[in-house]
Amino acid sequence: MSPFLHWVLSSPGGRSLGKTWVELGSGYGRDLRALRALRARGFSVVGVDVSRVGTAIARRSGVSAVRGEALRFLSELPEGSVDVVFSNLFYSLEFSEDDHHRLFDRVHRALVPRGFHAYSVRTVADPWYGKGVAVGPDIFDLTPDGAVMHFFSREYARRLRAGKFRCVRAWEGREDQGGFPIRVLYVLEQKLGPGRN
């Protein structure tokens, strides 16, 4: 289980956020496997990832994973059909601000009324921020040491949720997993209803 999923589930009411979960960027299925334990309590969890290898490994471990792009996957879900959309570091990939707005719009559409959006991202305080080649605002190509990454500020996260979600809980700090410290922002937000800001 990732530190972020542990944070979400240990939040006040974290295990009662809802029973239908979607994970964006589920990779090899680490968090899907952790959530699988909740199936006995009626939970339904599916992940989506563009990686053929990652999706295959996740499926072999007995979890539900779909190979595809997150935006298309979210667009094909029935409106108001998911309790929780979860993603761990997914939004820190090579997405522009327009891409993020489209993804957040689709998440909002897929969620039930008052559903939850939980995500973690690398922050502008991360040691890798500003390294490599700048390819957009707060976006850096870290090749050959890494991939293209989009780093978040709290203000950027506020802009993305404006008019769609209200922040329930957030935490910013150091995540040190496997001896590789990164600076992260954890966000748990709830879908706003019609006419709310």
Q: Token digits for 12? A: 């006040």
How large is the average pLDDT for residues 153-179?
92
pLDDT tens track for 63-75: 899 999 999 999 9
165 within 8 A of 108, measured Cβ to Cβ: yes
CB atoms within 10 A of CB 145: 8
Q: What is the mean pLDDT of residues 15-30?
A: 91
Q: How confident is the model at residue 197 (pLDDT cuts 50, 70, 90)?
A: very low
pLDDT of 40 reads 64
Q: Distances in Å between the alpha carbon of 108 and those of 45, 77, 100, 139, 171?
A: 18, 11, 12, 24, 22
Residue 8 has pLDDT above 90, yes or no: yes
Return the domain boundaries, the chain.
Answer: 3-124+151-191
User: Does residue 46 sit in helix, strand or coil?
Assistant: strand
- Percentage of the chain exceeding pLDDT 90: 78
Question: Which CATH fold would you assign to the domain 3-124+151-191?
Answer: Rossmann fold (3.40.50)
Average pLDDT of 31-42? 80
User: In which band, very low, low, confident or very high, does the pLDDT at 11 lie, cut at 50, 70 and 90?
Assistant: confident
Going by C-beta distance under 8 Å and a sequence separation of 6 or more, which residues neighbour residue 11? 168, 169, 188
Cβ atoms within 10 Å, residue 181: 12
Burial class (CB in 10 A: 0-12, 13-18, 19+), 191: buried
CB 23 within 8 A of CB 87: yes
Question: Cα separations (Å) of 2 from 17, 93, 120, 176?
Answer: 18, 17, 11, 11
- Please report which confidence band the pLDDT of residue 12 belongs to, taking 50, 70 and 90 as the band edges: confident
pLDDT of 76-94, one tens digit each?
999 999 999 999 999 999 9
pLDDT digits (tens, 9 = 90+) for 106-122: 999 999 999 999 999 99
Give the CB-side neighbour count of residue 127, counting CA atoms within 13 A. Answer: 8
Query: By CB neighbour count within 10 A (0-12 exposed, 13-18 middle, 19+ buried), where does 19 fall?
Result: middle
Cis? peptide before 144, omega within 30° of 0:
yes
Give the pLDDT of residue 176.
Answer: 85
Residue 196: per-residue pLDDT: 43
For residues 64 and 48, is the Cβ–Cβ distance under 8 A?
no
Residue 195's pLDDT band (boundaries 50, 70, 90)? very low
